[in-house]
Structure 1
Amino acid sequence: MVDGVTLTMGVVGSKLEKALGDQFPEGERYFGLVNFGNTCYANSVLQALYFCVPFREHLLEYYSNNKNQGEVDENLLTCLAELFSQISMQKKVTGVIAPKRLVYRVRKDNEIFRGYSHQDAHEFLNYLLNKIVEILEKESHKVTCAETSSVEGVVSGPTNGHINSVKKEPLVTWVHKNFQGTLTNETRCLRCETVTARDETFLDLSLDIEQNSSITSCLKNFCSTETLNAADKFFCDKCRSLQEAQKRMKIKKPPRILVIHLKRFKYYLHLHKKLSYRVVFPLELKLSNTEEDTDSEYSLFAVVVHVGIGPNHGHYISLVKSHNHWLLFDDENVEIIDESAIQTFFGSAQEYSNNTDHGYILFYESQVSNNK
C-alpha cells in the first residue's frame, strides 16, 4: 500500500499486455480500479476522466505544483490528483489500483454516496466537477486575499476602499476551460417580435431520448422551437402583458470537451424506470446547432455504460479510446475491444431484450482543440 493506495498486478494485466503486444504507447498506463462494494459508478467516471487528456494534464500539473508546498489540507481535489499521479507514475503499464483515499473522501464529504446502495454515475460526475471548481475558487480567493493584504500593508494613508471595490470577474478554472459551454435561451414575442435572450453555462448536456434515434436527432430536439401559449404564455416586457411566444435553445459556445448525458432514467406511472431505447452515438460528431451556424467537430473518446434493467440496481463500466485503441474498464478488469463493438452499447430496438448494456454518458473532444 502506498499512501492508502493498494497496488496489485495480476492475470488481467498480463492478458492486456499480451493483447497489445508492442503497441503500448510510450508513457501510457492502463490500470483497473478496485470496487469498494458499490463504487463502480465512481470507477467508470474516473476512467473516462483519466483518459480525458486535457483534464488529466491539468490535474497532474496541479499535483506537481502543490505536492511540495508543505502541509496542504486534504480534500477531494488533492485525493483525485494523487490518484491520477499514482497511476501515471507506475513502472508497470497495467495493473490494479485501489482508490481508497478518494472513496473515503467522497463518502465523508457527501452523505449521498455513503452506504452501499446503487448510485448514479452522472450525479457523481456533476458532484466531482463542481466540487473541484469550488475548491479551486476557494484557493484562488485565499491567494487574492493574501495579495490584497500585502498591498494594503505597504500603501500609506487611506485606500478609500479602491482595492476591495474592484469588481472581479468570475474565476475561470481549468474545469471550465475544458468542460464549460454556453447556451442561449431565446424567447420571441409573437406580437411585437421582440427577442429576449439569456445566456447560461453548462458542464454537460442532458438530452431526452426516443426509441431508435440518434445523438444528432436528440440534439435537434434539444434546440427545437417550442410555442408558449394558453397557460404557458410569456410576459413580454415591451408589450407589458402575457403574450404567445416561441422559445428555443441554441448552443452559443461549444465546449472543448462535450459531455452528453442520456436521460435513461425517468418516472413513469409513479415508477422510476430505465429507458433501454436504442440511441446511436457516432464516433465522429458534428455539432450544427451553434449560434455561429458553423459546425463543431468532435471525436468520441469515452462512454460510461449502465448495465442492468433498472435505475436502483445494476453496474457501470466504461469504454475508453486511447491512442487509437478501444478498451473496456470493468472495475479491476481491463481488456482491449474492437471499435465495432461500440455499437452493441447503443441500446435495444425492442422494449424487452437480453441486452442491458446501454450508453449513458458520452465524452467527446473537440477536434480543433485536439489538433492544437
Structure 2
Amino acid sequence: MGATASKLEKALGDQFPEGERYFGLENFGNTSSLFGDGFSLLEQLLEYYSNNKNVAEVDENLLTCLADLFNQCQIVARLTPRSDWRITEINSSKKKTGVIAPKRFVQRVKKQNELFRSYMHQDAHEFLNFLLNELVDILEKEGNDINDSPGTSSQAEQNVNGPVHLQENGAKKEPLLTWVHKSFQGILTNETRCLRCETVTARDETFLDLSLDIEQNSSITSCLKNFSSTETLNAEDKFFCDKCCSLQEAQKRMKIKKPPNVLVIHLKRFKYIEQLGRYKKLSYRVVFPLELKLSNTVENADSEYSLFAVVVHVGSGPNHGHYISLVKSHNHWLFFDDENVEMMDESHVQTFFGSAQEYSSNTDHGYILFYENLSVGN
C-alpha cells in the first residue's frame, strides 16, 4: 500500500472490495443534517439519468440533481443521503477514497424547500420524508404525462419501473408504482373490532418508514410489539360501528400487512415535554439487532431483515448537533463523519444503542435504522 493510501485503504488492505471506492461528502454548513436516508436505488437512478440526461440540462429538479450526483460517483453501495453520504464509487480513477462536494444537489434542496435554507440544525427524518415524497411526486408526474400521450405506455412504465393500471371503466388510473415504492413502501392495516357485535373493520394504508415510540432499556422488537399492541377505544374515544349504527367501545390495533423490501425505522428520540415547553432528546438505550425478525404481520409469518445502515444523532438536544452514519458494505462496517470515512468493528455498533442512565456523557444515539429484507429475490 503506497504512502498516499488513506487510513481506510490501509485498514482494509487486500480485503478492499475490488472495483469499489468509498467517498464521503463535503459538509456545507448545515448539510450534515440535511441527509438521512438509506438508498438501494442505484440502478434505477443511473438508468433514470441515462434516459433523461438531456432533459436534466433543461428541466432541472431534485431527481435530476440526485441522479446526476449518482452518475458522477457511479455508486455501487448503499448510501445515506446526508453530507456524509456513504458513497461507493466506480470510475476510471485509481483513487479508492476521497471527498465529493454535492453542490448542485444541495443548492436544489435549498431552492425547493425553505426549511433547509438556513444554517440551523435540521432533522434527518424530516429530510428523509421530504426527499422520498418529492421523488415520488416527480416520477408520478412524469409517468402520467408520458402515459397520457398516445402509444407511450411502455415508456411510462420504463420511467417509473412499475405497471400502469386502468380501472374497468377506463376513466381513472391507479397510482403509479415507482421504484421508490418498490424499495421502501409497505402496507399497514388498521383493524378495529366492535366489542358489541364483534365486527372487524380493516383499513389499509401505505408507509415508507415506521416511526416508533421508545422506552428506556428497550429494544426494536419490543417497540414493534408496542406499535402493534391493542388499544381500547371507550368514553369520548368510542368507535362508530356501521353495523350497530352507533358509537361503541372497540379494540384497535395496527398490523403490518405487507413488509417492505427496505424497512426504515425511525426512533422517536425527540419528545415535547409540556412542563419544559420544548422538545427534549430521549437518550434511552434501545437495542437494535443486526438481524431482525419482523413479527405481528397479517400473515403471521416472520420476515427476516439484516441491518445495513444507521443514521446516528450526536448531541444533547433537537436544535443542535450533528449526524454520522454507520454502513455495512461487503461484510465490513464503515463509519462516516462528513469527509472522514473509517473502518469500524461490528461490535462497535452497540455503542450507539443509547444511554442506560438518564444523565450520561454519551450523546451518540441511533436515530434512523435501515434493514434489508433477506427474503427478497429468494
Tell me which protein shows more helix as a share of its residues: 1
> Unaligned regions of 5+ residues in structure 2, if any?
75-89, 154-166
**How many equivalent residue pairs?**
344
2:223 is paired with a residue whose SS is helix
**Pick from 6, 26, 34: which aligns with 1:14?**
6
The alpha-carbon deviation at position 13 of structure 1 amounts to 6.6
| Higher relative contact order (Cα pairs below 8 Å, separated by 6+ residues) | 1
Contact 1:252 1:290 in 2 (8 A): yes
Name the CA shift for 1:186/1:73 in 2 (closer, same or farther; >3 Å).
Answer: same
> Aligned match of 1:34 in 17, 26, 29?
26
Q: Is 2:134 aligned against 1:131?
A: yes
Q: Does 1:292 align with 2:284?
A: no
Structure 1 letter corresponding to 2:28: F
C-alpha RMSD over aligned residues: 2.0
Deviation per CA, 1:17-46: give whole Å up to 9, x if none.
Answer: 111112122232210111110111234x26
TM score, norm. by length of structure 2: 0.87
Show CA shifts across 1:241-278 (max 9, x none): 11000000000000000000000001012221000000
Residue 239 of structure 2 corresponds to residue 234 of structure 1: yes
Q: Which residue of 1 aligns with 2:175?
A: 170
Task: For 1:163 and 1:228, locate their aligned partners in 2 and report how far apart those are by CA, in whole Å.
Answer: 38
| Letter aligned with residue 21 of structure 2 | R
Post-superposition shift, 1:147?
A: 2.2
Gaps of 5+ in 1: 1-10, 151-161
Q: 2-side partners of 1:137 and 1:13: how far apart? A: 44
Residues 12 and 95, structure 1, Cα contact 8 Å, conserved in 2? no
**CA distance in 2 between partners of 1:27 and 1:247 (Å):** 51
In the TM superposition, what are the counterparts of 1:51-70 in structure 2 within 5 Å?
52=40, 55-68=41-54
Q: Which of residues 326, 347, 351 is equivalent to 2:354?
A: 347
Cα separation, 2, equivalents of 1:284 and 1:72: 45
- Alpha-carbon distance change, 149 to 298 in structure 1, aligned in 2, over 3 angstroms: closer
- 1:1-372 to structure 2, matched below 5 A, reads 14-43=6-35, 45=36, 48-49=38-39, 52=40, 55-68=41-54, 71-88=57-74, 89-90=90-91, 91=93, 92-147=95-150, 165-268=170-273, 269=275, 270-369=277-376, 372=378
SS at match of 1:368: coil
Residue 335 of structure 1 and its aligned partner are, at CA, apart by 0.4
* Identity, % of aligned positions: 77
* d(CA) in 1 for partners of 2:64, 2:57: 12
Residues 30, 94 of structure 1: 8 Å contact kept: yes
- Which string of whole-angstrom CA distances, capped at 9 and with x for unpartnered residues, describes residues 36-92 of structure 1? 10111234x26x32xx3xx12221221122225684411101111111121224422
**In structure 1, how many angstroms separate the alpha carbons of the residues matched to 2:133 and 2:69?**
18
Q: Single out whichever of 135-144 and 61-70 deviates more from structure 2.
A: 61-70
**TM-score when scaled to structure 1?**
0.89
